[in-house]
Amino acid sequence: MKNILVTGGAGAIGRNLLKALYAQHGSQMVIAGYNRTPLTGLPDGSLSAQVDVYDKERLISVVEEHDLDDGEIYHLAALLSIAAEKDPERARRVNMGGLKNVLDVAREYDMRVFWPSSIAVFGSSAPKHNTPQNAPLDPEFEYGRNKVEGEKLLNQFFDEFEVDGRSVRYPGLLTPGKPGPGTTEYAIEMIYAAVRGEHYASPLRHDTELPMMDMRDATRAALEIMKAPKEDIKVRTSYNLSAMSFTPEELAEEIRKHIPRFKTDYKIDDLKQRVADSWPNSIDDSSARDQWGWNHRYGLPEMTEHMIAEIQKELEILRNANGGVKYG
C-alpha cells in the first residue's frame, strides 16, 4: 500500500475521510492536506501539509517530500454552491484550476485520484425524479458548471493519459460540524437548531425535495470506489450516487419523533431556493450499484437519530468546556 494525500482535510468530507483512512491504514501513511484552515484533533504523530491546490509547485513538493508517487490523492478542496455563486472567479480557480493541477501531478507521479462531483451537475433538461446516470448536464449555476468541467477533465485525463481518476456525484451530505456555504446544508442547521432547543427558519420551501446522504455512507463510497478493480469502473466522468431524498417538512417531522417540541417556519432565501429548484429531487444510481457494488446503509430515520445523538454529545462537551454552547 502506498501513501495517501487528502486535500481539503479541514472540510466536512475531509474530516470524516481522514478518520476512516487512519482506521484503515494507520496515521503514518496518510497526509492530511489543509490550506487556510489549520487541522485540529489529528492523531498524535500523524502527518499534515499546508497545500494550496492552485499552487502546483507546492503540490509537487508535498508529493515528493511525502513519497506519494504511485499513491493516491483524495482531492476534496472545493467551494460549495452558495460560496461559488457569490465568488465565481475564486470558485473557478479552486474548483477547476485545483483539479487540473491535481490531475497533472497524478499523471506525472502515477497516482490514483478520487474527486467528488455533485448532483449540481444537473439542470433543467434532466428528469427531476430518478435522474439517470446519462441525463443531460446543463447546470444553471457556477458550482454545477465547475463540476461538469471537472468531470470532463477527469474523463480526458483517463482517455489521453490513463490517469485513474474516480468520482461520485454526491447529494447533500449530513454530518455533525459547522455546515458549509452550500444549499443542502440547511438540513444540518435544522438538526442543530432542534438539538439546541431553538426554532428553525428554513431557507427552502417546505416541499423542496433534495437527494441527501449520511456522511458515513459518503465516506464509505469514496473508499470503496477507490478500492474497486480498475475494469469495474466504467464511468470515467462521475457516478450518480443515492441514499434518500426528503423535504424540509419531512426532516422536521422526523426530528419531532425525537424532539417533539421542535418548531419550524419558512424564511425563503431566494438564491438557495433557485439553486435547489434547479437540482434533481431523486437520483438513479443503478450504474454504481451494478458496476462496483455501491449500496447505501442509512435512510432518513437512521441518519436523523445518529445526527441528533452526535450533536447532543458535541454540544454537551462544548457546554462543559466553555460554560456555554459555541457553534458556527
Residue nearer to ligand AKB on the CB measure, 73 or 83? 83
Phi, psi of 266 (to 5 degrees): -130, 125
Using only C-alpha atoms, what is the Rg of the chain? 19
Q: How many CB atoms within 10 Å of residue 264?
A: 19
- Smallest distance from the beta carbon of 183 to ligand AKB, in angstroms? 4
Cα gap 168→5, rounded to integer Å: 18
Specify the stretch interacting with ligand AKB by CB under 6 A; choose among 164-172, 247-255, 286-294, 296-304.
164-172
The one among 96, 119, 193, 221 contacting ligand AKB by CB under 6 A: 119
118 lies in the binding site for ligand AKB (CB under 6 A):
yes
Residue ranges in 180-199 that form contacts with ligand AKB under rule CB under 6 A: 182-185
Q: In what order do the strands lie in the sheet with 239-240?
A: 117-118, 168-170, 239-240
- Smallest distance from the beta carbon of 286 to ligand AKB, in angstroms? 20
Number of residues that bind ligand AKB (CB under 6 A): 13
Could you say which of 34, 74, 143, 200 is catalytic?
143
- Residues whose CB is less than 8 angstroms from the CB of residue 307 and which lie 6 or more positions away in sequence, other chains included: 174, 175, 176, 188, 191
Specify the stretch interacting with ligand AKB by CB under 6 A; choose among 104-112, 170-178, 188-196, 225-233.
170-178
208 lies in the binding site for ligand AKB (CB under 6 A):
no
- Smallest distance from the beta carbon of 179 to ligand AKB, in angstroms? 9
- Smallest distance from the beta carbon of 167 to ligand AKB, in angstroms? 13
- Smallest distance from the beta carbon of 170 to ligand AKB, in angstroms? 6
**34 classed as catalytic:** no
123 lies in the binding site for ligand AKB (CB under 6 A):
no
Residue nearer to ligand AKB on the CB measure, 142 or 254? 142
- Smallest distance from the beta carbon of 180 to ligand AKB, in angstroms? 7
Specify the stretch interacting with ligand AKB by CB under 6 A; choose among 27-35, 115-123, 251-259, 303-311.
115-123
81 lies in the binding site for ligand AKB (CB under 6 A):
yes
Quick note: the x/- pattern for ligand AKB over 216-255, rule CB under 6 A, is: ----------------------------------------
Cα gap 243→211, rounded to integer Å: 7
Residue nearer to ligand AKB on the CB measure, 59 or 76? 76
- Residues whose CB is less than 8 angstroms from the CB of residue 108 and which lie 6 or more positions away in sequence, other chains included: 60
The closest of 74, 59, 146 to 108, measured between CA atoms, is 59
Residue ranges in 131-160 that form contacts with ligand AKB under rule CB under 6 A: 143
Q: How many CB atoms within 10 Å of residue 260?
A: 7
β strands within the chain, DSSP E: 4-7, 30-34, 47-50, 72-75, 112-114, 117-118, 165-166, 168-170, 172-174, 200-202, 210-214, 239-240, 244-246, 264-266
List the end-to-end C-alpha distance of the chain, in Å, as a whole number. Answer: 38
Could you tell me the three cell numbers for 136? 443531460
The closest of 203, 211, 210 to 181, measured between CA atoms, is 203
Could you tell me the three cell numbers for 184? 443542502
- Smallest distance from the beta carbon of 38 to ligand AKB, in angstroms? 23
Taking CB atoms, the residue at the shortest distance from ligand AKB is 182
Residue nearer to ligand AKB on the CB measure, 77 or 105? 77
Q: Which amino acid is at 21?
A: L
Specify the stretch interacting with ligand AKB by CB under 6 A; choose among 1-9, 165-173, 189-197, 225-233.
165-173
Instruction: Provide the H-helix boundaries in 30-141.
Output: 56-65, 81-86, 88-91, 98-109
Q: Which residues bind ligand AKB (CB under 6 A)?
A: 80-81, 118-120, 143, 170-172, 182-185
The residues annotated as belonging to the active site are 143
